[in-house]
Chain A
Amino acid sequence: MPEKTHNCRDGKLNLLWLQSGGCGGCTLSLLCAESPDLVTALESAGINLLWHPSLSEASAVEFQDILERVIKGEIPLDLLCLEGSVVTGPQGTGKFHILAGTGKPMMDWIRALSAVARHVIAVGTCATYGGITAAGDNPSEATGLQYDGHSKGGFLGEDFIAGSGMPVINIAGCPTHPNWVTETLAQIALGGFTETEMDELGRPRSYADHLVHYGCPRNEYYEYKASAEEPSDLGCMMENMGCLGTQAHADCNTRLWNGEGSCLRGGYACVNCTAPGFEEPGHAFAETPKVAGIPVGLPTDMPKAWFVALASLSKAATPRRLKENAVADHIVVQLDTRTKESK
């Protein structure tokens, strides 16, 4: 059988996937890729899985051999994906993650491999910005590959440029949606992924140019400020429940999760997991901080006075249907089906 044609500009691309200070959730999410499945998606993009911790056969010595040969330049490394933060503690020694079987801190392996990779891709908010691993007092001294929270720099430094001439590509998310990863990799393989495809924080604009708010099925409640008060209520979760969907950069409500889900569709707040620092919001995750009854975090590019004026107007005009449904766990007042003429 002749070799199939792949959607890849430069023949086959080698992908090496490593995990460090994270939970493996971005991989587990990635395995949910659909239409096509993950293995077919990689095949289609002409991506050769050099090694992946959940999928590959090679273990222990066989794996160490791959790493050594990549670092020596015997195997070209086109795509280096890191999932999980870079763990630098305690006191900068990296001893909180010694890569098994090697006696060497994982951070040293990451540095050596980044130096020979054509593209370096941080997968998930831990690898991009530090994420959940960096919460609290950051006990493991975790950092992202090229960001430490909001500040550029991180483990590889502000000036790091991969072989391709590009900085680290930050596929942020906790976890990442499978398509954010497969489509970014496929775009790279096609040769169409340049810095113009990345936002200010290094995230692919394919999903970071959107807000979680877009396509939220609770939009009508939002418009009339008909708000949920408790878990399982149907109303908008911005006023009381800590929802950051109007500020969060991601397309979760237009590109759904696990078939037909999203956080907001699941009845709980968006915690803005694609953003640096999401792990320490400065208030309880499920409560909206307020000053004089007005939520502190409002949509980012809307003048505050406008928002407050509009909100009080729309609140005054809230139909009974939305007011009552907002604090119920199923529709208690149905849509009016009569037309104006028949009223």
Chain B
Amino acid sequence: MSRRIVGPFNRVEGDLEVHLDIGDGVVEDAWVVSPLYRGFEQILHGKNPGDALVYTPRICGICSVSQSVATAAALADAQNIDMPLNGELAINLILANENIADHLTHFYLFFMPDFARDIYRNEPWYEQITLRFKAVTGTAVKQALPARSDWLHIMGILAGKWPHSLAIQPGGSSRAIEGQEQARILSIIYAFRTFLEDVLFGDSLENILSIASAAELDNWLEKQAPDHSDFERFLNVSRGLKLEKLGRASDLFMSYGVYRQAEGNLFKRGVWHHGEQPFEPENISEDLSHSWMKHGNTPRHPYEGITVPDPDARDGYTWCKAPRLDGAVVEVGALARQVVDGSPLIRDLVQQSGGNVCNRVIARLLEIASVVDAMSQWAHMLRPRDAFCHQVKMPDEAQGCGLTEAARGSLGHWVRIKKGRILNYQIIAPTTWNFSPRDQNGVSGALEQALVGAPVRDGEKDPVAVQHIVRSFDPCMVCTVH
């Protein structure tokens, strides 16, 4: 057996290192290290509560809006304020705009280029995939970048700019739009939809969303002309490399639910583990036993959370804390969101092969289709000249919790306010869940579990299978440790 340290991983957001025990051609054990600490929770201590809206989006340039939405929701909870319908629709559109842009960035820029690596030169699909997805030079790059930029014009209209907007307020949106802008948003969504149908899926979104089982997905794939769409290209690579066998974690999935609508969230809140399970946010705690943090013996709920860095902490090996739900390790992300919500295709895929590299990517792409569809409806529902924002004063003593879903999974903020100032601000980001270290019971985090069993080829320094597994989570390390 040998120990190997792998890093940095690029094409993830932020810096990441993984320690692997390798024996007999497979990974036998893994430790995930988040090597950067900045201290946002310390920075926020003592600040004016509203100032959190400036600081928290700057935790992360790729989940910036998600951080704003979580802050606004936590402050709204503390203020006991609600939003006018336009505010909710505008926030949904802004958040969805970021989440879908992130899914697109992940697929085209972060995930697919690994299949154009030299190690795959003998695969039948190698030439075609390299031409299409090679990092920087692949034909997909010059198609995906403009599609992404055009798509983010919705931010220009609704949020002023991206990343780091202040348009997202506890009581709604600071940007009330006019009818002409509503029409523009609809045309941007339409244009993006055309890109998805022509380039990504090679089929209508309706047809993609009607695929209801693993068998139907196989049928769909068989009917596709070769080299016809990027979804089809991915599925063929995945079949060839058996990506459904790679990267299985605990199969306990959590979603906070997201995109508020009058009739309930577009994607519902819950927990799934071979079936629906109860979800109580009060049962979330953070364990610091293996973090470079000063710690007591018992895990704490985030309202009581403490963040005091200590690079010499005994047993510590990462700046990341270990969040647990009722003591258990959970996986979050698009796959979790879709299985919790009840997507028939995703539930079938998970029932057959669990959480894995292939299913995580399919769930993300499927989510692009369903959210873009919902966005058209929200944009139609906007009512220019009705209110977009409510305003009330923040009480001097209050606490609030804001739960939302970033592209890469469940994001929670917990704030306590005393004498008009922030007494404690705690953040648990999606990749804090997925890339957490071991807890006091020695139980590994989700990625640490998912890496066990990953194949290592002869002579491979940085095993490609490990890279696929890591990137299948679409990790955001700057959120993980903030």
B159: Cβ under 8 A from any A Cβ: yes
Q: Is the CB of B149 within 8 A of A329?
A: no
Q: Label chain A's interface by main secondary structure.
A: loop
CB-contacts of B99-144 with A (<8 A):
105, 109-110, 113-114, 116-117, 134-136, 141-142
Complex: how many Å from CA A273 to CA B109? 28
Q: Is the CB of B8 within 8 A of A100?
A: yes
Which residues from A are CB-within-8-Å of B13?
A: 24, 54
Q: Is the CB of A263 within 8 A of B160?
A: yes
Which residues from B are CB-within-8-Å of A174?
A: 58, 164
A38 to B: closest C-beta gap in Å = 6
A99 to B: closest C-beta gap in Å = 6
Q: Report the tally of A-B residue pairs with Cβ distances under 8 A.
A: 271
Q: Is the CB of A133 within 8 A of B15?
A: no
A170 to B: closest C-beta gap in Å = 18
Which residues from B are CB-within-8-Å of A20?
A: 36
A87: Cβ under 8 A from any B Cβ: yes
Contact with A along B53-77 (1 / 0, CB 8 A): 1110011111010000000000000
7 more A-B residue pairs beyond the given contacts A230-B389, A258-B156, with a C-beta to C-beta distance below 8 A? A39-B136, A53-B8, A59-B462, A96-B37, A135-B55, A174-B58, A329-B176
The list of the 6 closest CB pairs from A to B, nearest first, reads: A266-B160, A25-B61, A100-B7, A139-B39, A261-B156, A101-B7
Q: Is the CB of A59 within 8 A of B62?
A: no
Q: A232-B173, A261-B160 are in contact. Are A90 and B38 (CB under 8 A)?
A: no
CB-contacts of A6-49 with B (<8 A):
19-29, 31-34, 37-40, 49
Closest chain B residue to A90, Cβ basis = B311
Closest chain A residue to B49, Cβ basis = A284
Contact with B along A59-70 (1 / 0, CB 8 A): 111110000000
Closest chain B residue to A271, Cβ basis = B54
B295 to A: closest C-beta gap in Å = 17
Which residues from B are CB-within-8-Å of A4?
A: none
Q: A24-B60, A57-B134 are in contact. Are A19 and B7 (CB under 8 A)?
A: no
Which residues from A are CB-within-8-Å of B309?
A: 90, 96, 139
Q: Is the CB of B38 within 8 A of A265?
A: no
Q: Is the CB of A329 within 8 A of B55?
A: no
Which residues from B are CB-within-8-Å of A286?
A: 50-51, 53, 166
B260: Cβ under 8 A from any A Cβ: no
Complex: how many Å from CA A273 to CA B54? 11
Q: Which listed residue (B5, B62, B174) contacts A24, Cβ 8 A?
A: B62
Q: Is the CB of B153 within 8 A of A258?
A: yes
B79: Cβ under 8 A from any A Cβ: no
Complex: how many Å from CA A228 to CA B385? 17
Q: Is the CB of A100 within 8 A of B17?
A: yes
B356: Cβ under 8 A from any A Cβ: no
A58: Cβ under 8 A from any B Cβ: yes
A330: Cβ under 8 A from any B Cβ: yes
B305: Cβ under 8 A from any A Cβ: no
